[in-house]
Structure 1
Amino acid sequence: MTISASMVKDLREKTGAGMMDCKAALSETAGDIEAAIDWLRTKGLAKAAKKAGRVAAEGLIGVASVDGKAVVVELNSETDFVARNAEFQQLVLNVAKAALGTDGTLESVAAATHPASGKSVADTITEAVATIGENMNLRRTASLAVSNGVVATYVHSATAPGLGKIGVLVGLESTGDKDKLLALGRQIAMHIAATNPLALKTEELDPAVVARERAVYADQARESGKPEAIIEKMVEGRVRKFYEEVVLLSQAFVINPDLTVEKAVKAAEADVGAPIQLTGFAIFRLGDGVEKEETDFAAEVAAAAGKK
């Protein structure tokens, strides 16, 4: 019988096995999904499926770069122990390298060819789940590119070159000295790791975030009993302060707090030898937004012993 793409997709979702393995299983079992699942289990290829429900909030951030472009990826695992595993670290580095040849979207990186296995990144990760024995997840990816200039990178709490708990990319457009641009970009990346800005410019902030802040400030101001006209001025002042805290170009530069990041970039132009434009940034903090499972070890031991 004909094995359709939807059948392969369905089997992959149920087992976590690779695409070609799913296709082979369906061919061997005449398209019977349940029989195909058993076939994969028999071959040891559905091992990953048992782990797919586990929360993967540990792992590593990986960065890779070439001239004028850089990428950052987050590959999660269940435990920090696996993140210290040399095999897992090499996997993350190779995923980052594969991402350099894509547009940086999660879908394109997952479909890219893994340089070590020759298979897709998604299939290689699935196989690594079975080999290493923990659930893993390529959670997110990002890339930055410039036509002239550099994309600087920084990894905080590095466990190996290009791997760590925080990864930052900074794009600087300029025809100036590239070594000096990279040094400036690294300083800005370190600043970003420390301050975690929400946007490059004020106009790029999420309007919902700004509206929520305004509402909070207004409620706080009204509790003072001031007239509405005064309250409005108080709110505007608080919003300006909020921008200084969360907008990268408006933040006080940690290297020199007397300057904003925008002014620091401008001041660096004389040394670099050309105008500089900070075009964008990306920051990944390991496990951001992942809801980790809270485990009660004593309860687990009691349950294992048959106690209530």
Structure 2
Amino acid sequence: MAQISASVVKELRDRTSAGMMDCKKALEACNCDPEKAIAWLREKGLAKAAKKAGRSTSEGVIGSYIHSNGKIAVLVEVKCETDFVARGEKFQEFARNVAMQIAAANPICVSSEQVPADVLAKERDIYVAQTKAEGKPDNIIDKIVDGRVKKYYKEVCLLEQPYIKDDKLTVQTLLNDLVATLGENIQIGRFVRMQLGEDAAE
């Protein structure tokens, strides 16, 4: 295999924020293909995130964002394991970006598990009625409805939403990447989004 130049490793590091050695390993594993190396690093990040998911998160910050028109404001709780990480630039930037995401995309909850049962039941009823009205056969209605529920989750669940600064990523992917980079369990907790003239939603 050809020698991997330091400039290629640095470019991958700039794009992913992963460590230099991790970037080199990714490039070696993917025959120096940067796009495949990014996917490889993301998969490793997902594995790291899963391993760290049970660890206590007693530190963190309250991220905030106020829209330029002064009519939308967001507060979001982002938790981590240590005060050292909480004070770091990457963690603080992530908290700001998540607050901005909430302001722009208006999720109703953090994850699909948090969608209220009555809200989900109402959505499913609507999708069933729509699917029947479209004349779909009874034996595939459930499958179609399940697909529409997944699409609904992408609209209303923060972690499943496409990231507003790069819609090829989800907020969950962004979170996994940060866990892999900082080496701590990181969780998005409560949030509140206020819009002038509307009730606040948490």
| TM-score, structure 2 normalization | 0.64
Which structure 1 residue ranges, 5 or more long, are not aligned?
1-145, 159-163, 291-308
Q: Which residue of 1 aligns with 2:142?
A: 232
Pairing 1:209–2:115 present: no
1:200 aligned counterpart, secondary structure: coil
Q: How many residues align?
A: 140
Pairing 1:157–2:63 present: no
Task: Please point out which of 191, 206, 210 is paired with 2:101.
Answer: 191
Give matches, 1:134-149, under 5 Å. 147-149=58-60
- What is the CA-CA distance between 1:247 and the residue it aligns to? 0.4
1:168 aligned counterpart, secondary structure: strand
Structure of larger gyration radius = 1
CA distance in 2, matches of 1:169, 1:265: 17
Residue type matched to 1:263 in 2? T
Q: Which residue of 1 aligns with 2:168?
A: 258
Q: Which residue of 1 aligns with 2:156?
A: 246
CA distance in 2, matches of 1:263, 1:281: 19
Task: Please point out which of 68, 78, 82 is paired with 1:172.
Answer: 78
Alpha carbons 1:151, 1:182 under 8 Å: kept: no
1:170 aligned counterpart, secondary structure: strand
- What is the CA-CA distance between 1:239 and the residue it aligns to? 0.6
CA distance in 1, matches of 2:166, 2:190: 21
CA distance in 2, matches of 1:208, 1:273: 37
1:171 aligned counterpart, secondary structure: strand
Residue type matched to 2:74 in 1? V
Q: Which residue of 2 aligns with 1:109?
A: none
Alpha carbons 1:170, 1:185 under 8 Å: kept: yes
Which structure 2 residue ranges, 5 or more long, are not aligned?
1-56
- Where in structure 1 do 4 or more consecutive aligned residues deviate above 3 Å? 270-273
| Cα deviation 1:153-208 (Å, max 9, x = unaligned) | 111125xxxxx311111211112252321111101111111100011111211222
Q: Which structure has the higher relative contact order (CA within 8 Å, separation 6+)? A: 2
CA distance in 2, matches of 1:183, 1:287: 29
Q: Which residue of 1 aligns with 2:186?
A: 276
Q: Taking every aligned residue pair, what percent have the same amino acid on both sides?
A: 40
Alpha carbons 1:167, 1:284 under 8 Å: kept: yes
CA distance in 2, matches of 1:147, 1:274: 12
Superposition CA RMSD, Å: 1.9
| TM-score, structure 1 normalization | 0.43
